[in-house]
Homo-oligomer: A and B are copies of this chain.
Amino acid sequence: MLATTAIGLSGVTAQAQSDPLPSWNNGAAKQSILTFVSRVTTQGGPDFVPPAERVATFDNDGTLWIEQPMYVQLAFILDRVKALAPQHPEWKTTQPFQAVLEGDLRAIAASGEKGLVELMAVTHAGMTTDEFTKIVSDWLAATRDYRFKQPYTALVYQPMLELLAYLRTNGFKTFIVSGGGIEFMRPWAEKTYGIPPEQVVGSSIKTRFEMRDGRPVLFRLPEIDFIDDKTGKPVGIDSHIGRRPIAAFGNSDGDLEMLQWATMSGGVRLGVIVHHTDAEREYAYDRQSHFGKLDKALDAAAVNKWTVVDMKNDWKRIFPFQ
C-alpha cells in the first residue's frame, strides 16, 4: 500500500515537472491514467508489465474523433450515394437510395440493416482496395463537418492525442479497435493518430484477389466479412493482436466487451470511458443517443472501477484547432 502510494506520488511529481497530458485538468481521471502507467512501467515493481505486453486499444468514433450528429462513415456513405446518383437514375424511386437523396434520415433508419448493407454495397464495394483508399482520402480532403466547418481529421480529441503519445513514450503499442470500417480508417490513422495500418482493427467486407492487366489487385465485394463491435471487439483483438490489452479506451456500449476483455482477468489494468458531457464545446449524450449510446457500459464502469472521463470537466481543450 505504501509502495503503491509512493509510486502514485512519484507519478504526480514527474507530471509536475513536465506534464505529458497538458490538455487534461488535474483530477481523478488524469490521475488514474498517470498512476496506472507508473505502476506497469516501474521495473522491479509488483505490477510491472514488460514492454511487449503493453497493448492499449482505442475505440475510434466518439473516443478519438467525433461521432455526432452522425458517424463520419455514415456521412461518407450519404455523400457517396449523392455523388454516384447521376449514374443511377433508378435510385430516385428506390429505397434506401431515395431516402438518402431526399435527406430523409428517418426513412434511412427505417430501411434497417438491409438498407445499410445495400448502401455499403454501392459505396464501399465494386472497386479495388487502392481505389477505395483514394476515394476515402479525396472525400476527407474535400469535406467539412456540419457544425465546426472543419475537416473530420481535425475533429479529433486533443487530450486523446496526448494520451496516445504518452502511452507510446512509455513503451505501449497503441491500436484502434473500432466498429468502423478498417479500410475507412487506415488511409488517415497514421498521419492523424500515429497509428500505422497494421495497428488498426475494424469492421470489414470481403475482398477477392485478381490479376488485372498483369497486375495483382484486391477487389472489394458487397459482402460483410466481420463486424468489429460489442462481442466482436475481443474477437477482433484476438485475431489481429493475439494479446490481451492491459488498457482499453471506449465511449459507448459497443466498447463494453472490449473493456471487460482487457480489464477482468487479473493484474493492474486500465479501463476508460469517455463520457460526452460538453454540449457547448462538443456534444452531450449518453443513454438515449442513436450514435454512441452509453448505457450498460456506464453502469459497468461503476461496478468495475473503470475511469469515466467527464469531457466538460476533465478536458481543458477538446480539439487541436481550438
Residues of chain A whose beta carbon lies under 8 Å from any beta carbon of chain B: 52, 55, 129, 173, 182-183, 186, 190, 196-200, 204, 207-209, 211, 214-216, 218, 225, 231-232, 234-235, 238-243, 257, 260-261, 264-265
Contacts of A218 in B (CB 8 A): 234-235, 238
CB distance from A48 to the nearest CB of B (A): 18
Q: Which residues of B contact A55 (CB under 8 A)?
A: 198
Interface centre among A208, A216, A232 (most CB of B within 10 A): A216
B52 engages A260 (CB within 8 Å) = no
Beta-carbon contact of A214 and B264 below 8 Å: yes
Closest 9 CB pairs of A and B: A197-B242, A209-B231, A216-B260, A198-B241, A209-B234, A186-B242, A216-B261, A197-B243, A218-B238
A238 CB contact (under 8 Å) in B129, B239, B240: B129
Would B129 and A216 count as touching, CB distance under 8 A?
no
The reply to whether B241 and A216 contact each other, CB–CB distance below 8 Å, is: no
**Are B235 and A209 closer than 8 Å at their CB atoms?**
yes
Of all chain B residues, the one with the shortest Cβ separation from A265 is B215
Q: Of all chain B residues, which has the CB nearest A260?
A: B216
Question: Contacts of A232 on B, CB cut-off 8 Å?
Answer: 209
In the complex, A285 Cα to B208 Cα: how many Å?
30
Contacts of A215 on B, CB cut-off 8 Å?
A: 264-265
Return the contact of A204 from the options B129, B225, B239 (Cβ within 8 A): B239
Cβ B186 vs Cβ A208 within 8 A = no
Once bound together, how far apart are the Cα atoms of A310 and B215, in whole Å? 28
In the bound complex, residues from chain B placing their C-beta under 8 Å from that of A190 are 52
Task: Give Cα A55–Cα B198 distance, bound, in whole angstroms.
Answer: 10
Q: Which of B231, B240, B243 contacts A208 (CB 8 A)?
A: B231
Q: Are A216 and B234 in contact (CB under 8 A)?
A: yes
**A241: nearest chain-B partner, CB-CB:** B198
CB-CB under 8 A for A241 and B197, given A209-B261, A234-B218:
yes
For A264, the chain B residues whose CB sits under 8 A away are: 214-216
10 A-B residue pairs with Cβ-Cβ distance under 8 Å, sorted by A, are A173-B198, A182-B239, A183-B242, A198-B198, A209-B232, A209-B234, A215-B264, A216-B234, A216-B260, A225-B239
